[in-house]
Structure formats: C-alpha cells, structure tokens
C-alpha cells in the first residue's frame, strides 16, 4: 500500500527538538515553543516577494470593484474568517469586500466539523452561493496543502478566470495546486507533531495580516500610519478617531468631537473639513474626486 500523501508533508514530520516533549517541565515546554516560534517570522520574511505579488493582485481586484475571498478548513478557515471580519472596523470596508468561506459553514468556526475538509464538491457550491466571479480573488489556505475543499475551490475559481492565491506551510508540496501566486511558508515541523494551529497557524496569521493591511494601505485606507478609514463602532474606536483628529488637525478634545459629529462620523471628511476649512458636502466631494485617498485630497 502506497504511503498517504500526508506522510511526506512538512507539517506532519516529527520535530527532533520535541521528541521528549512529554517528559519536559512546564518551563521547558514554554521555552521550547518560544524558540520554535522564532522561526515563524523568518518563514514569512522568506516569502516576502510572493506576498508582495499577492498584495498587488488584491489591490487591482478591489480597485476594480472585485472582492477578496479566503477559503479554508479548520484552523486555516478560522484564520481567514478572523482576518476578513477585522477589515470593516479597521479599514471601513464593506463586509462584502473581504469574505471568508470555511469548510463546514459557520458552525465550523466554533467546533470541528468532521470530514468537512474532504467534501471537495462543497467549495464550488459555497462560492457560487456568494456570487464569486471572474473579477474576484480567491486565496486558498491549507497548511498541509492537500485539503480537497481548498484545492477544489482553487480549480473552480481558476476555471472562471479569477485570480488565485495559495498559502501553505508545506513548501515542498508536489504538485502544488494551480494558482497565480503561491505563498509557501517554511516553518518546519511542529512541536506537537501535526498540530498546525501552532507555528503554521501563527505564520498564516502573520501572512494574512500582511496581505490585507498592505493592500488597504495601497488603496489609501490610511494617512501615514494612521487608520483614517476606521469605523468608530465602539468607544475605543471613537476615542481613536478623536485622537487622530487632534494629532492631524491640532484640535483639542472637544473641538475634535464636534468636528467628527459635523462630518457625520466620517474621519477623513472631518480631517478635510478641519484642515481645509470646507463644508461637509465640499469635503465629501473632494475626497470622492481623489478616489478616497486623503493625502491626495489634502494636497490637491
């Protein structure tokens, strides 16, 4: 009987450093895991060129009205869902702009759905249900690289003519799924053999953080390093909006709160009103003329 493909996956190999894991003290386990985690940032750095290519693909699609979809199972699917969920409050995006599809559906976010990752036929059905089209981008996430649900989704997307990205922690996977860009993160074997919620999960989180943050920055969602497109949906974010107004416009706290209220809660509009002495409708129109990019609106 031939070996299962997983036998050769980097994510399934035993880590020599942790072969006596069950004999270690709590502090020894903590130190070992911390030492192993240092490899994660190096793995993401090594994939920087692929990540940059992926960013440009996402930017082009979003600028043209397309969307970014994450597709994954288990930990990979949950990390995609987390990244998608954080885009609207951070960057003021429409919730439809960055979406996540997880094998097994919403229930799989809070508990394991046995066998969901093996149901390849459900990937295309889930994407069709959301209206996935050729102008969208599909980012398949699979730590081991073999997940049938993810591979089938990539084939479906490519068949439509959509751009595709593939993120894996199995860099020597052969064959790799067909994708425009492959982001292969070489984190090495896990401390607990096969537990890809560890280094592989951390590396995936870092890569997704980089992908959407860099894309949103390129789309003009920040000014300098400030979140000027955030949605002030809670007190923390309202306070951040006021602080940004104080920093960029030299306003005191009360004046900043008034400016934000007069702008209808729109931070970019409030900044333009304060810095250029514009009425709300004028600031809104100016921002629109510059495709929502605050720096261009301030300098134009």
Instruction: Give how far the C-alpha of residue 94 lies from the chain's centroid of Cα atoms, to the nearest Å.
Output: 15
pLDDT band at 9 (very low <50, low <70, confident <90, very high): confident
Domain of residue 176, CATH code: 3.40.50.10490
**Set 12, 117, 122, 190: catalytic member:** 117
Contacts of 266 (CB under 8 A, 6+ apart): 284
Same domain, 80 and 180: yes
Same domain, 141 and 206: yes
More confident residue, 3 or 104: 104
State how many domains the chain has: 2
**Does residue 228 belong to any structural domain of this protein?**
no
Q: Give pLDDT, residue 170.
A: 96
- Structure letter (DSSP) for residue 111: S
Same domain, 171 and 287: no
Mean pLDDT of 173-193: 95
Q: Tell me: the pLDDT tens digits for 30-66?
A: 999 999 999 999 999 999 999 999 999 999 999 999 9
Count of positions (residues) in the chain: 300
Active site residue 86: yes
Same domain, 55 and 204: yes
Q: Is residue 253 within 8 Å of residue 245, measured between CB atoms?
A: no
Q: Is residue 229 packed enough to be buried (19+ CB in 10 Å), middle (13-18) or exposed (0-12)?
A: buried
Alpha carbon distances (Å) from 248 to 133, 142, 217, 261: 40, 42, 18, 17
Mean pLDDT of 189-212: 97
Q: Give pLDDT, residue 3.
A: 66
Query: Dihedral (C-alpha) 4, 10, 12, 18: value to the nearest 10 degrees?
Result: 150
Least confident of 38-52, 100-114, 127-141: 100-114
pLDDT band at 226 (very low <50, low <70, confident <90, very high): very high
- Structure letter (DSSP) for residue 105: -
Q: Give pLDDT, residue 202.
A: 98
Same domain, 158 and 258: no
pLDDT exceeds 70 at position 97: yes
**Does residue 226 belong to any structural domain of this protein?**
no
**Does residue 271 belong to any structural domain of this protein?**
yes
Same domain, 214 and 251: no
Active site residue 117: yes
Mean pLDDT of 66-92: 96
Same domain, 61 and 103: yes
Strand-by-strand arrangement of the 181-184 sheet? 98-102, 68-72, 137-141, 163-168, 181-184
Predicted model pTM: 0.92
Domain of residue 273, CATH code: 1.10.8.1080
Tokens matching residue 119:
């149901």
Same domain, 199 and 295: no
Of 188, 218, 248, the position where a domain reaches its end is 218
Q: Is residue 29 within 8 Å of residue 21, measured between CB atoms?
A: yes
Same domain, 64 and 198: yes
Q: Give pLDDT, residue 114.
A: 73
Percent of the chain predicted with pLDDT > 70: 98
DSSP string, 5-29: GGGG-GGGSPPGGGTTGGG--HHHH
Of 157, 184, 218, the position where a domain reaches its end is 218
**Set 12, 49, 86, 107: catalytic member:** 86
**Does residue 93 belong to any structural domain of this protein?**
yes
Same domain, 101 and 185: yes
pLDDT band at 262 (very low <50, low <70, confident <90, very high): very high
Q: Give pLDDT, residue 285.
A: 97
Mean pLDDT of 225-239: 86
**Does residue 229 belong to any structural domain of this protein?**
no
Q: Give pLDDT, residue 1.
A: 39
Give the range of the structural domain holding residue 82, as residue numbers without chain letter: 10-218
**Does residue 77 belong to any structural domain of this protein?**
yes
Tokens matching residue 33:
């895991």
Percent of the chain predicted with pLDDT > 90: 86
Question: How are the residues of the chain apportioned to helix, strand and coil, as percentages rounded to the nearest 5?
Answer: 55, 10, 35
Mean pLDDT of 245-255: 95
**Does residue 66 belong to any structural domain of this protein?**
yes
Same domain, 214 and 252: no
Q: Is residue 37 within 8 Å of residue 18, measured between CB atoms?
A: no
**Does residue 46 belong to any structural domain of this protein?**
yes
Same domain, 255 and 129: no
Of 153, 187, 218, the position where a domain reaches its end is 218
């Amino acid at each position: 009987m031939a070996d299962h493909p997983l036998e050769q996956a980097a994510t399934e190999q035993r880590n020599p450093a942790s072969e006596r894991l069950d004999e270690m003290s709590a502090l020894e386990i903590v130190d070992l895991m911390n030492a192993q985690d240092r490899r994660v940032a190096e793995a993401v750095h090594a994939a920087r060129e692929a990540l940059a290519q992926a960013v440009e693909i996402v930017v082009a699609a979003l600028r043209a009205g397309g969307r970014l979809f994450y597709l994954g199972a288990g930990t990979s699917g949950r990390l995609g869902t987390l990244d998608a969920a954080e885009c609207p409050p951070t960057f003021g995006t429409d919730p439809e702009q960055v979406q996540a599809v997880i094998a097994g559906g919403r229930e799989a976010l809070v508990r394991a759905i046995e066998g969901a990752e093996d149901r390849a036929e459900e990937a295309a059905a889930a994407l069709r249900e959301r209206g996935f089209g050729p102008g969208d981008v599909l980012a398949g996430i699979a730590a081991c690289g073999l997940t049938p649900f993810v591979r089938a989704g990539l084939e479906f997307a490519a068949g439509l003519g959509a751009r595709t990205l593939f993120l894996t922690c199995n860099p020597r996977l052969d064959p790799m799924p067909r994708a425009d860009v492959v982001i292969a993160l070489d984190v090495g074997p896990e401390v607990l053999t096969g537990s890809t919620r560890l280094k592989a999960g951390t590396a995936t989180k870092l890569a997704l953080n980089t992908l959407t943050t860099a894309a949103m920055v390129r789309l003009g969602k920040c000014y300098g390093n400030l979140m000027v497109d955030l949605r002030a949906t809670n007190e923390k974010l309202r306070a951040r909006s006021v602080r940004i107004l104080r920093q960029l416009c030299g306003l005191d706290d009360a004046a900043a709160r008034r400016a934000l209220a007069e702008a209808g809660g729109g931070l970019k509009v409030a900044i333009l009103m304060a810095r250029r002495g514009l009425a709300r409708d004028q600031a809104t129109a100016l921002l629109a003329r510059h495709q929502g990019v605050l720096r261009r609106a301030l300098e134009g």
